[in-house]
Amino acid sequence: MLLQIMESEKLKIAIQGVKGSFHEEAAYKYFGQDIETLECESFKRTCELLKLGKADYVVMAIENSIAGSILPNYNLLRDYRFHILGEVHLHIQQHLLALPGTKLSDIKFVESHPIAIRQCDEFLSEHPEWIVKEGMDTASSAQAIVSEKLTNTAAIAGEAAAKIYGLDIIERRIETNKKNATRFLILSNDVVEQKNANKASLSFQTGNAVGSLAIILQCFAEQNVNLSKIQSMPVVGKRNEYDFYVDVEWKKQSDYDAAIRKVLKHSVNFNIMGEYVKNEKV
């Protein structure tokens, strides 16, 4: 009974994918091992669990150093308006996994998440005879090989998935860029003030006047606030109108505060999505 109570008190973290996924690895890196990860078939499902209070937090990939921004997730950030509590950078090492005893010559099909496939384009191009299929997640592709006893199929996934599902790594480090990294956001229903915050994620719209975006960017520059990322997304149903998502970093809180005051004068639908401590470690 005591064990059940203790387990019920663990933080519940919604992740896209299954056990052994990179999302689970990112959750462990941020929260530690003493958590319960909730497996979800889609990013939208993770958001629904958080919205309904069935999860305490969501771990969501937002960009990869090879594949770029994960654009559909920006739409989810806009629709659900969760608070960004923090970020995690994870060094991604992709391996080719298969059932024990499987040889490279036995492979006819390779399956993984679309982003993982893109990360391994160069390696896959060396095997044009393989049929590459997109799956829900890296780890779920590994899981399917075991559950369906697929002797002619390999999955692109991480080492954790190989260990959990008992698969052999028949080719290591098949990612094109060995500095491959993914940035994950930690999402919360509640605004949680972060002491020593030095990074923020913001969203806003601009007017249609010439140079309107440049004026806003200049506001940051004048206050010594570094713009580390900018992403634009079309406003649904409005031609030639865009939401801009930016990440900014600062050394002095007063500089950041002054920049925000200036930007408010030149933007529309301004929103501070989260203020948090920049994650330096990959």
- Residue 66 has a pLDDT of 85
- Residue 49 has a pLDDT of 98
CATH class of 199-276: alpha beta
Site of tokens 């975006």: 213
- Residue 239 has a pLDDT of 79
Give the span between the Cα atoms of 181 and 4, in whole angstroms: 37
- The answer to whether 233 and 71 have CB atoms below 8 angstroms apart is yes
CATH architecture for segment(s) 95-171: 3-Layer(aba) Sandwich (3.40)
**15-74 pLDDT per residue, tens:** 999 999 999 999 999 999 999 999 999 999 999 999 999 999 999 999 998 888 999 999
- Residue 8 has a pLDDT of 57
- Residue 6 has a pLDDT of 46
For Cα atoms 76, 194, 68, give the angle at the middle one, nearest 5 degrees: 40
Residue 254's contacts (CB-CB under 8 Å, 6 or more residues apart) are: none
Give the span between the Cα atoms of 278 and 164, in whole angstroms: 31
Residues of the chain with CATH 3.40.190.10: 2-91+181-188, 95-171
Residue ranges, the chain, pLDDT below 70:
1-8, 281-282
Give the span between the Cα atoms of 181 and 217, in whole angstroms: 27
CATH architecture for segment(s) 2-91+181-188: 3-Layer(aba) Sandwich (3.40)
- Residue 193 has a pLDDT of 84
- Residue 67 has a pLDDT of 85
pTM for the whole structure: 0.90
Residues of the chain with CATH 3.30.70.260: 199-276
Residue whose C-alpha is closest to residue 95's, from 26, 165, 17: 165
